[in-house]
Amino acid sequence: MPSASLIEPPPTDLAAAAGSLDAELSRLKALGENDPLAGATACKAALRTWPRSAELWSLRGLLFVQAGLRAKAEVTLAVALELAPGDVAARLALARLWLERGRPAAALELIEAAPPRPKTQRKLLYRAARLAIEIGDFHAAIGRLEPALGGAREPTLRALLDQAQRLRAADTAAGLRAQDKRVYLTGVEKLVMGEPAAAEALFGAVVASSPNYAPAWAGLKGARLAQDQAAEIDGAPGPIRPFLERRFSARGLIFDPREVVPERPRAEALTEVFAPDALSHTPDSWLRLDPVGEPMTLGPTITLGGPGDEMRLPFAASETFVAGLDQPALLGRGIAIDRTGARIAELAGHHGPDKSSAFQVGRAIGFDRAVFRDGAAPVRFVDEPAFLMAGPSDGAFGDWMTNFLPRLSLARRAGVDARLVIRSASQPFVRQTLAFLGVGPDRILEHDPAGVTLFRRLYVPSWPMPNRRRAMAGLMAALDVAASEAKGPSRLYLSREHMVPRPLINEAEVRARFEAHGFHTIHPERLSLAALHALLSGADHVAGPYGSAFLNLAFCARKPACLVCAPAYYLGFQREVTLWLGAMGAPFGLFLGENDGQPPRRDGPWSVDLVRLEAAISRFLQSPPAAPR
């Protein structure tokens, strides 16, 4: 690593040009915003003129981070900090790089060595505290935030302090004393860096002081295995012992991103059971709820006339099941790994591993080493059964409504009464829709997608709408318990004028046609879900361009008649909305638009023929809503 003391001082004639350094920094920052690597390269040229400029070294290091060149960023930021120890931005960036390399304790030391900043530096204080929380030393985060806040009312910092206090309380509930967390993190770092003997001593100290903290027992076993010692761990409390039966990596880690995870077929990994009670007591089993269903046909129940308006689409109901896994690990955005260290193919769903910080390696998957800190990712043990409601696409409202909320009916049919697992920092609609269905905070467990969560038992259901081409029978049955109070106009137009994907280029004219027939325009993305549901529950007729806003009709006790305008060039949209509304029992019609002469793209622009639309609206208004359920 280069040292600032080895950098040659600039010649005196060039030092006189230092007044132009600010202008050069502004130019380089602007260049780096568009092309970080080009900006970093240009910084190298500028350093020939100003070799001892901490600002230039820091900017170059930060641009290397943005360009993904972590090794170069580490070296460059280290020089910047030697020149200017008070550069908190460089310090935090270097700490994050160390964290990604599996050095959480070193990253914490780097944060704590930062000199105090004026109270105006709230942004940097926030970043430092948030990084301490991410590393896992909640006590350190609290120590930074409490003195800075005092009695001040700063909502952002106050929320971060509340989060750190909740997480420290969770550590305490898990059996960890606050003073042992730093020792544990140092043990993890030693194990990841290939020093298992040092790690063993540190983990041993933690279990002696906090004997009920399961991650430390796992670290102790891993450290001994990495030294080819006996795998038996004496003294571990009874509830912790089953977790220690999992496979450990060659480095002694309970999850090692340097290793690939093989894929096993369900027939090899799971035992089929034939009753819900057996599912709960048989290790690594699955309960078939429905085999692959018979073909069925869904289509518009409103006949509008014209080409394609009477189209009906064939479907086959998808297979439905619930699998019960003993001592599995949950990784990324919902990848379940069994206790042998393998992924079961049929539980993976239709999304690629890239959405879970992973990648395909033949018939196996590998994981992003930086995201999972080269094996130092936080580990959490959950000593109770749980039901998986997280997955790669749970951040999209449409997929949450069709592939996650319907899982609740699978849980009921399988006789599973367990808390639900969602991703931490989920979209607000996740908790809101669960609350509509009577699932409160006490029924929810959170999983950190950058960490590892181990469960005593995890129930993993099939995907209710795999590939968006099939759907389980009773897709929307889980939402039948919800009903919103009806209020508002009887005719609603759901606008997408402020949405970027799939722009309806003549939507202003389309909206005007509906408004001329007494429709009230609303923008669903600007309303709370409760307000939107109340409006939809009071409507007799709902129309608009294709979009996931129509899925909110699932919460209406009485389904209005619907007219969905959709691009003709993408059959998938027509299949999806047919599955959605058909499964709800809502009467609906499809009105197909045109691609406006452009090559068809899934999210490309399209338009609607206004003359045909006028006739469709007139016929649509003759159709009554569905009878209340």
Question: Strand, helix or coil at 158?
Answer: helix
What is the arithmetic mean of pLDDT over 164-183? 90
Q: Which residue has the higher pLDDT, 123 or 465?
A: 465
Helices (H), 244-289: 266-269, 276-281
pLDDT digits (tens, 9 = 90+) for 185-228: 999 999 999 999 999 999 999 999 999 999 999 999 999 999 99
- At CA 11, angle to CA 10 and CA 15, rounded to 5? 70
Per DSSP, what are the bridge partners of residue 453? 330, 380
Q: What is the pLDDT of residue 213?
A: 94
Q: What is the pLDDT of residue 484?
A: 60
User: Where does 306-398 show beta strands of DSSP type E?
Assistant: 313-316, 320-326, 329-331, 335-337, 343-344, 358-361, 364-367, 379-388
Q: What is the pLDDT of residue 313?
A: 64
pLDDT digits (tens, 9 = 90+) for 347-368: 987 778 888 888 999 889 999 9
Q: Which residue has the higher pLDDT, 551 or 20?
A: 551
What is the arithmetic mean of pLDDT over 253-279? 93
Residue 619, Cβ neighbours under 10 Å: how many? 16
- Alpha-carbon distance of 465 to 349, in angstroms, equals 10
What is the arithmetic mean of pLDDT over 29-51? 92
By percentage, how much of the chain surpasses pLDDT 70? 90
pLDDT digits (tens, 9 = 90+) for 222-265: 999 999 987 778 889 988 988 888 889 999 999 999 999 999 99
Cβ atoms of 206 and 216 within 8 Å: the answer is: yes
Q: What is the pLDDT of residue 549?
A: 93
- Would you say residue 119 has pLDDT above 60? no
Locus of tokens 């619907």: 562
Q: What is the pLDDT of residue 367?
A: 92
What is the arithmetic mean of pLDDT over 585-606? 78
Cβ atoms of 223 and 199 within 8 Å: the answer is: yes
* Helix (H) / strand (E) containing 100: helix 88-100
Q: Which residue has the higher pLDDT, 14 or 381?
A: 381
Question: Strand, helix or coil at 295?
Answer: strand
- Would you say residue 2 has pLDDT above 80? no
Q: What is the pLDDT of residue 299?
A: 66
DSSP label of 607: B
Q: Which residue has the higher pLDDT, 480 or 33?
A: 33
- Alpha-carbon distance of 286 to 324, in angstroms, equals 6
Q: What is the pLDDT of residue 141?
A: 87
DSSP label of 347: G
Per DSSP, what are the bridge partners of residue 241? none
Q: What is the pLDDT of residue 622?
A: 87
Cβ atoms of 546 and 589 within 8 Å: the answer is: no
pLDDT digits (tens, 9 = 90+) for 331-345: 999 999 999 999 998
Residue 346, Cβ neighbours under 10 Å: how many? 18
- At 526, the pLDDT band (50, 70, 90 cuts) reads very high
> Which range, of 46-55, 129-138, 486-495, 619-628, averages the lowest pLDDT?
619-628
Per DSSP, what are the bridge partners of residue 503? none
Locus of tokens 């609609």: 429
Residue type, 33: E
- Each as own residue / partner, the long-range contacts of residues 291-294 (CB below 8 Å, 24 or more positions apart, any chain) are 291/319, 292/316, 292/317, 292/318, 292/319, 293/317, 293/318, 293/319, 293/473
- Would you say residue 67 has pLDDT above 60? yes
What is the arithmetic mean of pLDDT over 309-319? 70
What is the arithmetic mean of pLDDT over 508-525? 96
What is the arithmetic mean of pLDDT over 498-523? 93
**DSSP secondary structure, 394-463, as one string:** TTSHHHIIIIITTHHHHHHHTT---EEEEETT--HHHHHHHHHTT--GGGEEEE-TTSEEEEEEEEEEPP
Q: What is the pLDDT of residue 69?
A: 93
Q: What is the pLDDT of residue 397?
A: 93
